[in-house]
Structure 1
Amino acid sequence: MQHIDCHEERIHLCGKIQFFGYLFVFDKNEECIAASENVQERWLCSAQEFIGRSITDILDFLLPKYSIRFQHFRPEIADLIFNRFVEKVALDEQDYYVSIYRYGEKLYLEIEQSNGFNLKQTKLYYYAKHLEREDSDVWKSLTQLIKEIIQFDRVMIYRFKEDKSGQVIAESIRDNLDSLLGYRYPEFDIPQQARALYKEFLARHTADTESAVSPLIQSTEEEIDLTPCSVRALSPIHLQYLRNAKIQASASFSIIVEGELWGLVACQNVLPRHVDLAQRHACIFLTQYAVNYYLAVCRKQESQYIALTSQLEAELKERLWLSNDLLATFSKFAHQLIHKLTADGMWIGNGEEQLSFGEVPAAQHITVIRHLLEQQQEHVFATHNCVYLENTQNEEQLFPGVIKVDLIPNSSWTLLFFRKEHLIEEVWAGKPEKIIQYDPVSNQKFPSPRTSFEAWKKINQGASIRWEQREIQFIERIVILVQQVMAKRAGEIQRLNEELVNANNTLETYSYTLTHDLKNPLSAIRLSAQMIQMKSDLSGEFLKRCSTNILDAVQLMSEMMEKIHEEFASSSSVILKPYLIDPTAHILSIVETAKQEHDVHHLQFELGKIYPVLAERTLLFQLFLNLIGNAIKYSGKEQQPYVKVYSQIDPTHISYFIEDNGIGMDLKDDSDIYEIFRRMPNSTGYEGSGVGLSIVKRIVTRLNARITVESELGKGTLFRVDFVRHQ
């Protein structure tokens, strides 16, 4: 017993033509090898009489008044798939469209009736603007326009889902029809070979499901491919499907998004209605225009999403650089990450340490989830229907939506995001079941078209709302960011270890010099001092000689120590690799920390324009830490403490200003405020060791910058740091 399944039906080789059109097929020599039987009704010549004749002879016979117009069709169709030569002609006061095109090695000639539709340029502009309206859905607008053009009772946008079923996402209907908006249709309603045709040939229609069809009369037994044929009859199974749905005319236009069949514009009419070539072309054009607009809107939304998440990514990266604690870092950003992903909860851990935020499964279920998802090789794996719960209590919340993130390769650090179960009531256009019938005459089983399209409801359980691709890509960027920081940090640690070895070697030399080379001058000083102590009556000449020996020894020690310091500084210096840094986050963090540390909660802080600077991140942080920290500390006892940080730019430098209204400094005595351990006389009562500004001076030097200060006792201080713009 043979079983012909729906997807095995060879619909592109049906060999049947609809009543409103006529078809001729020619071989590569342009000799007719097939003609539709119904040509006899119109031209009173049997289809067999056309076999073997050239396309030029047939055109001259069928349309003698248009012979000259058909002399130049060959250049228009040469070597171009689906490039059609189209002319509108009149036969006995009835308009027809004549189409000539190549497909494979064959030439096709179609003649079909015209409805008199004519799309004006002004109308096309109106249609385009209607699709671009920001206050409406582009797919709803498309159904309205196509309904206006073809005058069908129902026009729907039917979108294919990931499981290959479909759903109506937009529609325009005649007033007395029931809406099918939101209805689901099973995959087998549109078999795979039909989908392949929809992807290749963008318009399909039948004018009357009850009308007779005409067979092709052929000179050979070859099955002729009618894939690009507009007048091809639909398959018997599909025609019966339409009859069961009480539809007599249908049309569909393919929605192709980035090369794939995204959906269909599905059109239905209760009574027979022909959609002519001009109408179909207009509908295809508007459908593709809607696709382009839809993609533009999607890309705009993607760009906006990336822009919104980029700031979070930058802040997370900044925190990772400043802290080696993954748990603490992700704890700080947990609620922001949950919000960006529209998740219900987040869990992070490495087996020994773990934290959760928001709503998450119970601990034992998280262990099961981690074990289940260990088999997934991707660093980021997302599912909306994870099954992991056994013997759960009724009150337990299900979390089938899971994103699993392996933060660091070959480590146990895992990041999990969760979404709750989302119950959906799906409405199907008839129960989605395939019925197989048996034909005893042919001894074949075949799929029976569905007879019921009554609403059939199903509650979809055990799944969450799907994770969007942009959300998954956002998490993938976070993973890359973490791994890059960790890898660079590992490289930095290795480099610092090497420098530490060199520094230790230098320290050994320094230590040896101090303990060995300085013994001689120290002995000279000790000996001279002992001699002075031992003798009571010393001559002036003797004292002069002893003091000279002491001064010479001191000079020698000073020169030796200076030289050692230079060598040590040279060997321990790190070559900086500056890059452009926006210090805004640093500054704000320092301000908050300093306010707490110095108990200056009533501080008035003003952040002006901030320009990125070329610097090394750690040194820049340390620089601002000292300058801003001092500004807050020394203005904290004022009645209204005020600190302002801002920057200015010129062609060569970017200048940062740290201004306060604190105790100020007396700079008249030209003293070196950057000298280590030096504290100003009016700083009594404020914590400090006098090291901060010394560190600032060294950092400024290392960064190839310049620092100046303006200050007045009791009126505040203004520090200015000039960074070089280009290095």
Structure 2
Amino acid sequence: MTHFNVDLTNCEQEPIHILGHIQSHGYLVALRPDTYLVVHASANLPDLINQPVADVLGQSIEVLLAQTDLPASTLVELLNVGQRNHSWDTINPQALRINGHPWNLIVHEYNGLLLLEWEPVQEPELVSLNQRLIAEALTEMQSSRQLVELLQNTARRVKTIIGFDRVMVYRFADDWHGQVIAEEKEPHLEPFLGLHYPASDIPRQARELYKINLVRLIADVGSTPAPILSQPGWPDDQPLDLTQSSLRAVSPVHIEYLKNMGVQASMSISLLYRGELWGLMSCHHYSPRFVGYGARQSARFVSQLLSAALEFRKDEEDQAQLLLSRENGKKLHEQLLLDGDIVQALTRRSVTALDLTRATGAVLLFNNKQYPLGQTPGEAAIQGLADWLRTNTTDSIIETSQLPRLYPAAEAFRETGAGILAVVLSRELNEYLIWFKPEQVQQVTWAGNPEKPVTVSDNGQARISPRKSFEAWTELVHNTSESWTETEVSAAVKLREDVLQVVTRQANEIRLLNQRLQAAYEELDAFSYTVSHDLRTPLSSIRCYAEILQEEHGAELNPDAQVLFQKIVDSTDRMRALIRHILFYSRMGRTEINAQPIDMEQLLQTIREEILITEKDRVLTLDIDAAPALHADPVMVRQLFTNLMANAAKYTRSASEGKVVVTGQQTADDVIYSVTDNGIGFDMKGAGKMFDLFKRLENARSFKGTGVGLAIVKRIINRHGGKIWYHSEPNRGAAFFVSFPIDQASVYHD
């Protein structure tokens, strides 16, 4: 097995899942799932089976157990049950006696192999204690407690379950450095509560494994790991993947790290929030200590309860903020419609733009004037920031909690504006709405100097090395504000649409931005219309010639050539679809609106039936709730809802049961429709180019699409004088909202 040297440049690439060793307190065997032949085994296996490893590699289970008193038929039947059920949860762990000694057998299947791990059996008297502690934890987490108290009590219970000297709850920050926020320890130990640890202490690949294996035990830091041996002829470039293994050995760097702390045994329990790593319960013992499978599962269950409690409490907080933000956003919208004066509505009424977020200051830059609210930088500083935004950003939404890192001049006003959330009203006219959050100066106490994570060897090579001193090293953190939440960004997106709708109604024909946009649209229309028409003729010829060759010479072509011809035909189909979308997008800028009453119930049901036919091979429900009528162009409205509903259906394909709901409501001024789904969602912070032509979000790239559909939707809604906005979170679905003014006679844009 090739040794992997961990240095300063490759620490995050260290292959900790294929280190080629296991911890020495257990034994490992890897079998082929079809024949049960042994392909890998740990070098210490003779201690369990009483014969050399070389004698069993490539052999059957009967040979593996020949020198033990465990019948091969017993093990075969266990493996057969697990494979039939396609699950190992029902048999793990399996208590077996081998030559008079009890062992727990743990089985899992990964990368085409069955991994069998034997480890010592936990003391029986601990089981009832663990069950009682779990019941107590469940009762406590169901009650309404402060988060800090909940974390502290959970640390205390986990310490009782596993018997370690110290249990810490370690929370990750946005930059992946961590802080100890709860701790339970033996009285004689120095406290680590409040200490910060740099992100390099837990590199990226280790964090990914913590999301897969929720409990990780290192029983004896000082023990010698057992190498994994492979059957003769096994490729050197295919080492055994121990991602799912309980016995997986430990990175030499991490071993050194623990030794520097004086730790002899370690255990980590993952804490997740919405499937992502929120923190860890990091457990230390100052002498070797093995924790049995039952106690580890108890600790895992407590961590899952805590993860659920974290999500519940966070969701409660998010929901309260979301309701307040929506209420203030609705009030601002009403003020905009009532006043028709952007400045008056956003800065001089009972609810202002400052009330939309948890910012401490905001400023509206409009018509060459500044209108500040709350605590903001000075006028010159704001003008400089606006100039920087115009020349250095292209997104319509900009958010950061560390503005001085992007714009160094902002350090001068970090006390009021270390973080900003800005929406572009007109880049050409330098018009913005900007919210500010102040610097949160905090004293951070590091466990060792975070700026010195490397050592230099005798030959001068720099390498990452765990810090040898864990004495507190303190610094002040500057230039950072509280982070912007998804709710705040979503509210800013909606308010921007509200403002732009009023601006467009007031001065569409004279504003410089709209003049330039109109010219750009006309040039794009002419270009796309000409190019699309010119492309369709040769594209049709390519398809025609390919089909002729298939028909006339198909029998003479080998299978590979036939596949290539079919790919040509399929590619032309995709190209024709893209051209069709471009043409439709182009026509939206020239076609006159033929407004008439639309029976939305009938139109939406027709679209629904078409989508369900195309998605017939999966579980999908598409519900149409209230469907108030519209007075609009039927062709455009049909295209708009076809795009939104088809998108919603497409991005739920990864869900076991896709669900899409379309509903509408009529207010005094608008008809508002929403299309919601339970699909992959997206990050609001990265959605500033949602409606740009040919732009697709990162997590949507695995789904087929042209990047034109939402651009068409945006153009249609603009032509009708309406608005479109959205709200989403990754892996929690998305909601798109469109509104059509009831009095549309004066807002159509031809």
> In structure 2, what is the Cα distance between the partners aligned to 1:16 and 1:253?
22
SS of the residue aligned with 1:71? helix
Provide the secondary structure at the position in 2 that maps to 1:252: strand
Offset at 1:259?
A: 3.3
Structure 1 residues 293-328: Cα deviation after superposition (integer angstroms, max 9, x where no partner): 211222222222222222222221111111110001
Contact 2:27–2:118 (CA<8 Å) still a contact in 1? Answer: yes
Give, in whole Å, the separation in 1 of the partners of 2:667 and 2:398: 38
Is the 8 Å Cα contact of residues 157 and 168 (structure 1) preserved in structure 2? yes
Query: Alignment length, in residue pairs?
Result: 502
Question: In the TM superposition, what is the alpha-carbon distance from 1:417 to its structure 2 partner?
Answer: 1.7
What is the CA distance between 1:350 and its match in structure 2?
Answer: 1.6
% same residue: 27
CA distance in 2, matches of 1:439, 1:132: 57
Q: Which residue of 2 aligns with 1:9?
A: 14
Looking at structure 2, the residues matched to 356 and 25 of structure 1 have their Cα atoms a distance apart, in angstroms, of 67
How far the C-alpha of 1:208 sits from its partner, in A, is: 1.1
Three-state SS of the structure 1 residue aligned to 2:287 is coil
Q: Please state if 1:418 is matched with 2:427.
A: no
Distance 1:60 1:85 in 2: 23
Residues 145-164 of structure 1: pairs in structure 2 closer than 5 A:
145-164=157-176
* In structure 1, C-alpha distance between the alignment counterparts of 2:446 and 2:221, rounded to whole Å: 24
User: How far apart are 1:73 and its partner, in Å?
Assistant: 2.6
1:347 and 1:354 in contact (8 A); partners too? yes
Deviation, structure 1 residue 176: 2.4
Counterparts of 1:6 and 1:279 in 2: how far apart (Å)?
32
Among 484, 488, 491, the alignment partner of 1:467 is 484
CA distance in 2, matches of 1:182, 1:234: 27
The aligned amino acid for 1:41 is D
- Whether the aligned pair in 2 keeps the contact of 1:439 and 1:445 (CA below 8 Å) is no
Residue 531 of structure 2 corresponds to none
**Residue in 1 aligned with 2:106?**
99
The residue type equivalent to 1:338 in the other structure is: L
CA contact (8 A) 2:155 2:168 kept: yes
Tell me the residue number matched to 2:318: 302
Residue type matched to 1:213 in 2?
A: P
1:351-381: per-residue Cα shift (whole Å, max 9, x none)? 4233212221111111111112223233331
Deviation at 1:81, TM superposition (A): 7.7
Distance 2:340 2:144 in 1: 47
In the TM superposition, residue 402 of structure 1 has moved relative to its aligned partner by 1.8
Cα distance in 2, alignment partners of residues 71 and 114 from structure 1: 21
Per the alignment, in what secondary structure is the counterpart of residue 118 of structure 1?
helix
Code of the residue aligned with 2:14 in structure 1: it is: E
Return closer, same or farther for 1:54/1:101 CA change in 2, 3 Å cut-off.
Answer: farther
**Residue matched to 1:671:** none
Partner residue of 2:61 out of 30, 55, 67? 55
Measure, in 1, the Cα distance between the counterparts of 2:414 and 2:30: 67
- Distance in 2, matches of 1:273 and 1:363, equals 63
Q: Secondary structure at the match of 1:159?
A: strand
CA distance in 2, matches of 1:99, 1:66: 16
Gaps of 5+ in 2: 509-595, 600-625, 628-664, 671-750
Report what 1:427 is aligned to: 445
Specify the code of the residue in structure 2 equivalent to 1:214.
Answer: A
Which protein has the larger Cα radius of gyration, Structure 1 or Structure 2? Answer: 1
Q: In the aligned structure 2, how far is the partner of 1:371 from the partner of 1:425?
A: 33
- In structure 2, the residue matched to 1:359 is 375
User: The residue matched to 2:41 in structure 1 has which SS?
Assistant: strand
Map residues 691-702 of structure 1 onto 2, 5 A cutoff.
none
TM-score of the aligned structures, taking structure 2 as reference length: 0.60
Match of 2:340 among 324, 343, 362: 324
Q: Aligned partner of 1:15: which letter?
A: G
| Worse overlay, 227-236 or 137-146 | 137-146
CA distance 1:135–1:196, shift in 2 (3 Å): closer
Alignment partners' CA distance in 1, 2:154 and 2:349: 42
Instruction: Check whether the contact 1:73–1:85 (CA below 8 A) recurs between aligned residues.
Output: no
**Gap change, CA 1:8 and 1:153, over 3 Å in 2:** same
2:135 matched to 1:125? yes
Aligned to 1:112: 119
Instruction: Find the residue that maps to 1:402 and give its secondary structure.
Output: strand
One-letter amino acid of the counterpart of residue 422, structure 2: K
Is 1:341 aligned to residue 350 of structure 2?
no
The 1:82–1:259 alpha-carbon spacing in structure 2 relative to 1, beyond 3 Å, is farther
The answer to whether the Cα contact below 8 Å between 2:272 and 2:307 also exists between their aligned partners in 1 is: yes
Following superposition, the deviation at residue 79 of structure 1 comes to: 8.6
Deviations 1:70-94 (A, max 9, x none): 5143242459587574212345775
In the superposition, the TM-score normalised over structure 1's length comes to 0.62
Query: What amino acid does structure 1 have at the position aligned with 2:262?
Result: K
Structure-2 residue corresponding to 1:64: 70
The answer for the alignment partner of 1:283 in structure 2 is 299
Aligned residues of 2:376 and 2:436 also touching (Cα < 8 A) = yes
Report whether the alignment pairs 1:404 with 2:422: yes
* Distance in 2 of aligned mates of 1:392 and 1:125: 51
Q: Aligned partner of 1:45: which letter?
A: Q
- Mapped to 2, the partners of 1:473 and 1:132 lie a distance apart of 31
Q: Distance in 2 between matches of 1:79 and 1:104?
A: 18
Deviation string, structure 1 residues 546-585 (Cα, Å, up to 9, x no partner): xxxxxxxxxxxxxxxxxxxxxxxxxxxx99x9x99xxxxx
Q: Name the CA distance, whole Å, in 2 between partners of 1:133 and 1:467.
A: 29
Partner Cα distance (1:397, 1:280) in 2: 47
Cα 1:422–1:446 shift into 2, 3 Å: closer
**Structure 1 position 377 matched with structure 2 position 389:** no
Cα distance per residue 1:484-525 (max 9 Å; x no partner) = 55567889xxxxxxxxxxxxxxxxxxxxxxxxxxxxxxxxxx
Shift of 1:334: 7.6
Which amino acid letter does the alignment assign opposite residue 438 of structure 1?
A: S
Contact 1:384–1:463 under 8 Å retained in 2: yes
Give the match's secondary structure for 1:465.
coil
AA in 2 matched with 1:303? Q
SS at match of 1:287: helix
Q: 1:69, 1:219 → 2: CA distance?
A: 21
